[in-house]
Amino acid sequence: MEVMELERPRLELSGPKLAQAFETLVSRADEHGGIERYSAALQLKSRAFRESLAEPDDIGSGDFEALCAHLATVRRRIGPWLEPSRFDGLRSAIGLLLREREDTNTTDERVTVFCGFFPDGREHRWVRDLAAELLHNVDPERYPLMTRWVWDARANTGVLREIWHAADVDRITIEVPDRYGTFVMLREELAQFLTANGVFRDMTEYVDMLTAQVYADYICERGSTYLRADFTTPEDPMRHARRLLGLS
């Protein structure tokens, strides 16, 4: 198999913003049993996805619906696609997305093909989140979080924007694509930050938790256009982070 060179855009991240988010994450997690508890919960969630989707062609709509309960930006929208008349097509699309997951060269292509099974338009932009969540939860080591709340180049919003280093980030367009290589780079840089701050184990889970905390802070401070319906509870940053991670 030919190994293609991964597109690795330069990311300008703000150390102080990351440090603030990490401090918030640790302190909030300590109030609810400690950050190790959340790391273990993420590992259990990934195991459930991996086992349930080991043979995608065999999963039933009920079992898939149970998995979607852990996908914050999907669970309110997936219902019509769990009906018998539509679920067979959805299951086939999932199989195509996951079957060749060892080949990360085709990640962006497979996500595009998956999204093409659904109607185009704003009402179905959540489908990209579904593809990203399935890849990440089934194979978190190979696929970082790639949902729209992490980075949506079209909307110029997401975690990447919240930790971008710029004098007036609210007035600029970040010219970074929301492709697989970008998310790999983001995870690598966040992992380097965490290592420098004393994290040496469960790195995949810690990166996910830090990423979610950054966006949880955004939700609390400014709200979110496409997540507002999913996050209407009191302003508790850790609660929002748990929901983003599919833990509540």
Residue 3: predicted pLDDT = 45
What is the 3-state secondary structure of 122-173? Answer: HHHCHHHHHHHHHHHHHCCCCCCCCCCCCCECCCCECHHHHCECCCCHHHCC
Torsion sign (Cα): 132, 87, 116, 92: positive
Question: Does residue 124 contact residue 134 with C-beta atoms inside 8 Å?
Answer: no
Residue 55: predicted pLDDT = 96
Where in the chain are the domains?
15-244
CA atoms within 13 A on the CB side of 72: 23
Q: What is the pTM of this model?
A: 0.92
Q: How far apart (Å, rounded) are the C-alpha atoms in residues 194 and 198?
A: 6
For residue 164, give Cα distances in angstroms to 66, 157, 205.
35, 11, 22
pLDDT of 122-141, one tens digit each? 899 999 999 999 999 999 99
Residue 1: predicted pLDDT = 42
pLDDT of 151-200, one tens digit each? 999 999 999 999 999 988 989 999 999 999 999 999 999 999 999 999 99
- Assign 13 to helix, strand or coil: strand
Residue 150: predicted pLDDT = 98
Length of the chain as a residue count: 248
Q: How far apart (Å, rounded) are the C-alpha atoms in residues 27 and 116?
A: 42
Residue 6: predicted pLDDT = 80
Low-confidence ranges of the chain (pLDDT < 70): 1-4, 223-237
Instruction: Identify the bridge partners of residue 152 per DSSP, sorted by sequence position.
Output: 157
For residue 19, give Cα distances in angstroms to 16, 24, 51, 158, 213.
5, 9, 35, 18, 11
Residue 247: predicted pLDDT = 94
| Token reading at 215 | 């966006």
Cα Rg, the chain, nearest whole Å:
17
